[in-house]
Copies of this chain bind each other. A is one copy, B any other.
Amino acid sequence: MTCPLSTITWNDFQELGLSEKAKLLQESGREFHVMFAQQFTRKRLDELGALATVIRRMAKSRDGRRFLGQCLAHQRAMLYFTQPSSRTFLSFCAACQILGMQIGEVRDPAVSSEFKGETREDSVRTFSSYFDLIIMRTELSGLVERMSWVLSQSERPVPIVNAGSGKDQHPTQALLDIYTLQRSFEDRGGIDGKTIMFVGDLARGRTVRSLSILLTTYKNVRQIFVAPESLQVGDDILVQLSAAGTDYEISSDFRKSIPEADAIYMTRVQHEWDVKGETSEDSIADYSFTTEHLKLLSPDSVLMHPFPRKGEISPDVDHDPRAVYWRQMRNGMWIRAALIASMFRCDDGITAESQSIGK
């Protein structure tokens, strides 16, 4: 397999828009590298969601687990996580293990060769020498793009999956959010026509940015952004929503908007990116969901959060059936397994097996 990315120079690639970039990342209708959320079309989101559901159901039985565990046995995945993360790490780890993949990992750059002065490019090419897939999380925004391009030029064009890069992109988080919405609305006509409300730190949370853009691939989705002024969603996002004809609303009144929402997506205030004290304790308290707000929430709405949470949702809310954030977390494992299975062309085999079991 070769990736179309191998046919372009680095300088030319950088000058492309996202949609042109996206085309160079696909191969035979599947993702070769996973770089940003915008590369997933509505069709792919539907396919991956359907595959995740097949895998999730298969994994309930011992025979199903055994079948899945053979799919990628004797393939090896490298988890290269230089930015701290337990949730994303363990979720990818579990996704690989479901498919039988073996895992190598570098989580602490201090124990790696980098202290001997090696470049990141040499490190990633090293990983590609020993592994069949690289899943990477990094604090550097452009690194995944660069490395995907580097590997595509090399003798071993191993695929890369972006597990979070800088403030910018976290595409598999967007996938799991979409999958959670798909599941939540599966008896209500799907995501089309729903109202999704984002709350909290909308300026800097990369999950909100990615999800908001992905939702433009659905029809008539209304988006409400609720945040204090200093943490409101960026104009760059709003420009894209306008261009896509999306109906959106900017608000700072949390209580008022709750009844309108089909899904409320709460987010954590990202203190760690604070430059000039954008956030205060007040801003957290005013945009937190407590049991009191449950009364305002419509009976078939859902409450989501990408986690970790820091007080934006009271643990007392956890037992309400509309609180789907724990299920959302587990969805991350299923959709990541589906993505990897598809990238390695096991999707058809898995679907066929599930149909033969169903008969």
Contacts and interface: CB of A to CB of B under 8 A. Distances in A.
A93 B309 CA distance: 30
Interface of A: 62, 65-66, 68-69, 73-74, 76, 78, 81, 84-87, 90-91, 93-94, 97-98, 102, 104, 106-108, 110-119, 121-123, 125-127, 129-131, 154-156, 268, 272, 307-310, 315, 326-327, 329-330, 333
Majority SS at the chain A contact face: helix
A310 B117 contact: yes
B104 A76 contact: no
Contacts of A309: 118, 122
Copies of chain A in the complex = 3
Given A66-B74, A76-B97, A94-B131, A112 B126 contact: no
Contacts of A125: 326
Contact of A123 (B86, B98, B122, B333): B86
Contacts of A108: 108, 111
Contacts of A85: 111-113
A156 B112 CA distance: 32
A86 B121 contact: no
A237 B217 CA distance: 67
